[in-house]
Amino acid sequence: MKTRNGKATSYATAAFLAVSLAAGTASSADLVISNWDGYMAKDIAETFKAATGLEIEVVNHATNEEVMGKLMAGQGKGYDVVFVSSPFAEILNHQGMLAPIDKAAVPNLANLYPEAAALAYDPGNAFSVPYTWGTTGLCYRSDVVKTAPDSWMNLLQPSDDIKGKTTMLATDRWLMAAGLLAKGYSVNETDPAKIDEAKNLLIEAKKTLLAYDDTTFYSKLVSGEASLVHAWDGWCNYGITENKDIKFVVPKEGSDLWVDTIVVMKNSEKQAEAMKFINFILDAKNHAWAAENILYKVPNKAAMESLDPKLIEQYPNMGMSPAELTKYELLRDLGDAQKDYSRAVSEIKAAN
């Protein structure tokens, strides 16, 4: 199962680890692929080899920050294909570390929804290919809350019956997004005064929280420890699997569009083989695996149309259309403003 927890590993620590690992990561495989644990089929190596004759080695990373530290420390050497969220793909591209996507070698790009080939951070899929996409919102126990939530303020200033029974995502971008959206600002806001406004709202909200939680929030809903949580749509589905009274809603103020991408490192000596891997993933059957098993929407029209309709009935957010998703704001590389976000989150976490 993928995690988005970006706070656990600092760049400095990750860079140190990367240098340590770099010396020992020589691989005899045709491709070295870094991905989140459980984010591809377990038999991917076998099925890819059967289809292409190529062997792959899969290396797991826990967070975007962890793999970014490794890539930056080694200039991408030692890796051929990497899965990262879109703002991090943007950073890698700005650093000149990504190979262009060879469109002729990836004919299955035709399976993508038109919206997935026109995302603002990489229109035309010049340097990245989207793997999964979704949004963030409120996941709640409909049999417990007195009123169904429809606003970020239901989370940030909860009613008395759910105080102490709410959780928020800890990762910088998503924590700040909740505060910024509640204030009517962009999820990519760079005005320091507006960032401070969101920070102050989130500091007050902290007094009502059960916890910051990026990994077990849906379990807390299932057990009844929490009544309302801040959640990625796909992860809310894990709770729905265990309790049909768990629901997901995007607040009326809006939300973000997150995209996890596949990129090829410029320093890879196996770029042609890497393009074969991307083409293999974009095959409808192979890409449908992600939707069927990790319950995230995939931006592959052919794959989504192949799903059993019962999956959409059980997990209504799986039926969100590309047009609905893309009306939300893409998370973008913040540039220098990332420091303001990191400072604000540090102050929130340190506040009493």
Q: What is the pLDDT of residue 26?
A: 60
Match 């990504």 to its residue by tokens.
98
Higher model confidence: residue 311 or residue 18? 311
Other Cβ atoms within 10 Å of 248 Cβ, number: 23
User: 65 pLDDT band (50/70/90 cuts)?
Assistant: confident
How far is Cα 134 from Cα 34, in angstroms, rounded to an integer? Answer: 21
User: 19 pLDDT band (50/70/90 cuts)?
Assistant: very low
Q: What is the pLDDT of residues 94-110, one digit of tens each?
A: 999 999 999 999 999 99
Residue 6 has pLDDT above 50, yes or no: no
Higher model confidence: residue 92 or residue 1? 92
Helix (H) or strand (E) holding 60: strand 56-61
Other Cβ atoms within 10 Å of 350 Cβ, number: 8
DSSP 116-147: GG--TTSTT-SS-EEEEEEEEEEEEETTT-SS
Residue 350 has pLDDT above 80, yes or no: yes
Long-range Cβ contacts of 341-344 (<8 Å, 24+ apart): 341/172, 341/173, 341/176, 341/195, 342/172, 344/176, 344/195, 344/196, 344/198, 344/199, 344/202
Helix, strand, or coil (residue 332)? coil
Q: What is the pLDDT of residues 129-178, one digit of tens each?
A: 999 999 999 999 999 999 999 999 999 999 999 999 999 999 889 999 99
